[in-house]
Structure 1
Amino acid sequence: MNVLKPHLQTTILTLLGKGATQREIARITGVSRHTIRAYAQRFAAERPNCPGVATDSVGQTAPPWPPTPVATTVSACEPHRTFIEAQLRLQRNATAIYQDLVDQVAFAGAYNSVKRFAGRLRQKEPEQFDRLSFVPGEEMQVDYGEGAPTLVPGTERYRKPRLFVATLRYSRRSFRRVVWKSSQQTWAELHEQAWRHFGGSCRYVVLDNLKEGVLKPDLYEPKLNAVYTATLAHYGVVADPARVRDPNRKGTVEHAIGHTQATALKGRRFTSIEEQNAFLDHWERTWAATRIHGTERRQVQAMFEEERPLLQPLPVSGMQYFTEAQRTVCDDSCVRVEHCSYAARPAPIGSRVLVRLFARRIEIRDLATQALLRSHARAERPGTVVLPQAERVFNPSRETRRILAQAKAKAIGPDASRLCEMLFAIEGRVGQRKLWGIVSLGERYPKRLIDCACARAITDGLHSYRHVKAITERLVADALAALDAPQQAELALTQEHPLIRSADVYAELFARGAAQTPNPTTPRSFTHDHE
């Protein structure tokens, strides 16, 4: 309180005795209303029972105290109460209401009068909060806080690590861990450790909008980071991020963090992270789990024993953590990851893909849909190229095997394959062009004719593509000429010819044969027709 000079104190006391308001005294004396209010309370405490006239410290007559009540001043806005209340229900401010009063009813009062009157009329209803209740195994709430000062390794300095707390909403059983640094993987690993500690996972997890879990906070569709999303999917849990600036949604874990800091860690120091984590485990088992919860009026451990069987079973294997990076598909259809190349087809050359790096493998996914394109074992030596032979283009070191393969020279025929092998044996890698020429003939001419041409070239001793091509073209031309040659016309039938006997001769022959036909009952052994 400001210490005023005696004459100002006397003036304030006199005006208060006459029933002047603090606002009027402030306007007359220039003293702040807060100071006038403080002096009024001081005068009332010094003269609680002084009826009539009293004397001050210097023996002068002082006004009676407490002052005689005076009639309450009626605000100039009182006649317009109904109008002002209606405007306040429309969420209009005092300035707009004052302007309407002046325009519509020629209001003669001051703006401050309307402002004070509107302030008294406004009634702010307290916000109602629901009492959240959940079934066993339904929800877990997580959050970060600050741990106790801990000695930084290799130094003599103490620093507060990050305190991770996961609390089951039904039983209030908590899991606590301190870590020096946090990251997306550390955040997911702490969740996994909490579920392993509880012996099962819940169906929903409520978290804050920190970057380790939520990349983009949104009221309707928040975006989680990929590592956290994969971890939740691995354990069958759904994330339910709290709304921004809405800590009441996860009040259970907020209270658990405050309880840990105020009771377990207050005034303590630790020499290592491991020591603090061991103490937190001991404190949770000995004190936190055995306490009687203030709201439920039941022991936390007893409620946890009811909740434990209803938690979701844990998967056999733990989460395989990964890191993500975007890469561009190079002109050899590969992506570069840690100085190694991995095949990325069917991703087109020049496109951007998403690469997930696991401990022993990598995944190449579509950037937009997250669909899996390729998966490779992670190379151990820098400079390794993981690209199947079938996806590689021309390379002199590999083309010989490709040409001589079953799908090329051997597909034409055995003689073509033998000629190609002879050419490579004679000329080496330089003869690959001749081999390609012979193989490419199969795209234009019948393979049977090409194989015959190769056989004739081997016989002629001319191991040349030109020679094989010339023979093949000649064989094709001969085959086409044979197809174009005219066919022999059909002979006309005739009844007269030197070799054709007359009909009477044939009739007599048939008659004799009929007359000499043996009896069917007579054995064939006794006939002499064969003689």
Structure 2
Amino acid sequence: MNVLKQHLQSTIFTLLEREVSQRRIHELTGVDRKTIRRYQAIFESRRAASNSPGEATTGPAEPAVAQTPPPQTPPPPRPPDPGAATVRPFNFARSASEPHREWIEQQVRLKRNAQAIYQDLVDRFGFTASYESVKRFVRALRHVDPEQFDRLEFACGEECQVDYGEGAPTLDPKTGRYRKPRLFIMTLRYSRRSFRRVVWKSSKQVWAQLHEEAFRYFGGSTSYVVLDNLREGVITPDLYEPELNRTYAAMLEHYGAVADPARVRDPNRKGTVENAIQHTQNTALTGRRFESLDAQNEFLTHWEENWAAKRIHGRARRQVEAMFQEEKPHLRPLPANGFRYFTEVVRTVWDDTTVSVDRSHYAARPAAIGSLVCVRIYDTTIEIRDRRTQELLRTHARAAEPGSLELPERERPFNPSRQTSLALASAGDIGPQARALCQHLFDAEGRVGHRGMWGIVALAKKYPPWLVEQACDHALRHHIYRYRQVRAVVERLFQQALERLDRAPQLVLPLTQEHPLIRPAAEYGELFSAGAARSAETFTSNDGETV
């Protein structure tokens, strides 16, 4: 053990007795702070012994005491910032700026700098002191005590933090230029082990997929995920009831995690991942360029496993990988299957109790007619949920072709509605056969037949109504009750009518010069002469001059 010389020992003990911080002692004596900490333990043990009755103490000058090894006890907590103990408070009364204090405080609240305040003092008040005096006065007015933070401690597998940053410049295959992608980082709060991945674009699904990749990388999920209030995760920020993105919330529920959005504009709540982003950018990515995203992701994985995970954490004084191996058994087990991603839309329940998705129709009962429901569209299935409670109402297999109808016969409503009366009245304007066909469609299919009824009515807007009436008569006589078949009959009749017009002979009417409606040419000549004379009179003035 290194032993300091006697005068250095005495100096250190004297400064410690005056409650000078270790940092200040190091600046004054040049002794290493670890050695100062060791002698501080000796000093504390002597102070405790001197306060105990019946025990003799020795002075700091005895050489035998210096040879005594320090007790094997943990060092005391680090003292506060030495500046707080050594800097004297500013004496406002002795400053030449004190007579103008009220005016200077107003200027400081306006965020004006000391130079501008000094210039106005000279111009407006004849200030004769120096600029340094004003600068010290303004600095003292702006002095704010440093904000205090409570360091949060978490158990193994309790929390992780996620955020986006900027990656290193990477060649964009679309533009052929280098630009910075988005850097996603998830950091485990206990061990500080991180997952890093760069992507070109972010979306709700990409954000959730990156979480999945991180959970798979760690071999488990945490109980809480602390995130920023970005749109991919939080739709409406709120301290007490934030509204999460549906896809993101469902993904976290699938992995047994709960989202904990940080307070708006409060990055200190997720300071671990903020530091991880700065560490990655400053140490791993600064000065580098990559030819593809895969190359950058491969480098980040190599750097995490070979350097970042093997580092000794500054505050914990332990290796990150060792803490991760301690935390890994406490992570939540991963589900057997990955999360199924979906697209969510809002639909209105039609009067036939169905909703329309991709031009196909699915039963929505027990949702009420006219209500709004949430529809989750998966690759092979359709889920209809209550919009307010997200309760699952119906599940259907996704239709392979548009125009499909997923509605059991027992659920079809046959009671007429206002749309039924309006469709039948519009069909009656076309003809009795059209109304009869629409009535048959409603009797056979119920309100589901409204679509076919309105389709038949719409045919009269494109084709002559008498052709539509003739097609409906043909459909009734041959028991054809489908809209598409009726439309095919109308198109065929219309084409036949055009062909008959083309084959019909064109009648050539002879020209005639005499008819009761044709006046003689002399009358037209007189009319033109009278008009010309009248026009000439209007352009002649009263004194005979022509205008």
- State the TM-score, normalized to the length of structure 1: 0.53
Q: 2:345 touches 2:374 (CA, 8 Å); kept in 1?
A: yes
SS across alignment from 1:298: coil
**Is structure 2 residue 286 aligned with structure 1 residue 257?**
no
The code of the aligned residue for 2:220 comes to G
Tell me what 1:325 maps to. Answer: 345
Tell me what 1:291 maps to. Answer: 311
Distance 1:200 1:277 in 2: 21
Tell me what 1:144 maps to. Answer: 164
SS across alignment from 1:356: strand
- Decide whether aligned partners of structure 1 residues 391 and 260 sit closer, same or farther in structure 2, where only a CA change above 3 A counts: same
Tell me what 1:471 maps to. Answer: none
The code of the aligned residue for 2:295 comes to E
Q: 2:95 touches 2:137 (CA, 8 Å); kept in 1?
A: no
Give % identity.
63
Tell me what 2:18 maps to. Answer: none
Computed over aligned residues only, the root mean square deviation of the Cα atoms, in angstroms, reads 3.5
Matches within 5 A, 1:475-514: none
Q: 1:127 aligns with which of 142, 147, 165?
A: 147
Distance 1:299 1:119 in 2: 43
- Decide whether aligned partners of structure 1 residues 356 and 119 sit closer, same or farther in structure 2, where only a CA change above 3 A counts: same
The code of the aligned residue for 2:319 comes to Q
Count, aligned residues = 312
The code of the aligned residue for 2:252 comes to L
**Is structure 2 residue 230 aligned with structure 1 residue 210?**
yes
**Is structure 2 residue 185 aligned with structure 1 residue 185?**
no
**Is structure 2 residue 292 aligned with structure 1 residue 275?**
no
Q: 1:328 touches 1:352 (CA, 8 Å); kept in 2?
A: yes
Distance 2:308 2:187 in 1: 12
Could you tell me how far 1:94 is from its partner in structure 2? 9.5
Instruction: Give ranges in structure 2 of 5+ residues lacking alignment.
Output: 1-92, 111-124, 415-438, 447-476, 481-547
Distance 2:300 2:373 in 1: 44
- Decide whether aligned partners of structure 1 residues 429 and 275 sit closer, same or farther in structure 2, where only a CA change above 3 A counts: same
Distance 1:196 1:178 in 2: 17
Distance 2:144 2:264 in 1: 23
Matches within 5 A, 1:339-350: 339-350=359-370
Q: 1:354 touches 1:366 (CA, 8 Å); kept in 2?
A: yes
Q: 2:171 touches 2:178 (CA, 8 Å); kept in 1?
A: yes
Distance 1:387 1:290 in 2: 60
SS across alignment from 1:137: coil
Distance 2:311 2:139 in 1: 47
Tell me what 2:395 maps to. Answer: 375
Tell me what 2:330 maps to. Answer: 310
Distance 2:445 2:343 in 1: 39
SS across alignment from 1:164: strand
| Superposed CA offset, 1:160-182 (max 9, x none) | 11110000011110001111111
Which has the greater radius of gyration?
Answer: 1
Distance 1:75 1:161 in 2: 52
Could you tell me how far 1:118 is from its partner in structure 2? 10
- Decide whether aligned partners of structure 1 residues 122 and 247 sit closer, same or farther in structure 2, where only a CA change above 3 A counts: closer
Distance 1:94 1:141 in 2: 37
Distance 2:144 2:336 in 1: 55
Distance 1:398 1:351 in 2: 23
Distance 1:126 1:73 in 2: 25
**Is structure 2 residue 257 aligned with structure 1 residue 243?**
no
Q: 2:412 touches 2:445 (CA, 8 Å); kept in 1?
A: no
The code of the aligned residue for 1:342 comes to Y
- Decide whether aligned partners of structure 1 residues 146 and 332 sit closer, same or farther in structure 2, where only a CA change above 3 A counts: same
| Superposed CA offset, 1:27-58 (max 9, x none) | xxxxxxxxxxxxxxxxxxxxxxxxxxxxxxxx
Could you tell me how far 1:187 is from its partner in structure 2? 0.7
**Is structure 2 residue 355 aligned with structure 1 residue 355?**
no
Q: 1:396 touches 1:429 (CA, 8 Å); kept in 2?
A: no
Could you tell me how far 1:345 is from its partner in structure 2? 1.7
Could you tell me how far 1:332 is from its partner in structure 2? 2.2
SS across alignment from 1:136: coil
Could you tell me how far 1:428 is from its partner in structure 2? 11
Tell me what 2:180 maps to. Answer: 160
The code of the aligned residue for 1:314 comes to L
The code of the aligned residue for 1:321 comes to Y
Q: 2:226 touches 2:270 (CA, 8 Å); kept in 1?
A: yes
Could you tell me how far 1:346 is from its partner in structure 2? 2.0
| Superposed CA offset, 1:227-285 (max 9, x none) | 11111111111111111111111111111111111221222222221121111111111
SS across alignment from 1:240: strand
Instruction: Give ranges in structure 1 of 5+ residues lacking alignment.
Output: 1-70, 96-109, 403-426, 431-531
The code of the aligned residue for 1:352 comes to L
Could you tell me how far 1:397 is from its partner in structure 2? 7.8
- Decide whether aligned partners of structure 1 residues 400 and 231 sit closer, same or farther in structure 2, where only a CA change above 3 A counts: closer
Tell me what 1:385 maps to. Answer: 405
| Superposed CA offset, 1:467-500 (max 9, x none) | xxxxxxxxxxxxxxxxxxxxxxxxxxxxxxxxxx
Q: What stretches of structure 1 move > 3 A for 4+ residues in a row? A: 71-78, 115-123, 393-402, 427-430
Distance 1:72 1:288 in 2: 54
Distance 1:247 1:73 in 2: 39
- State the TM-score, normalized to the length of structure 2: 0.52
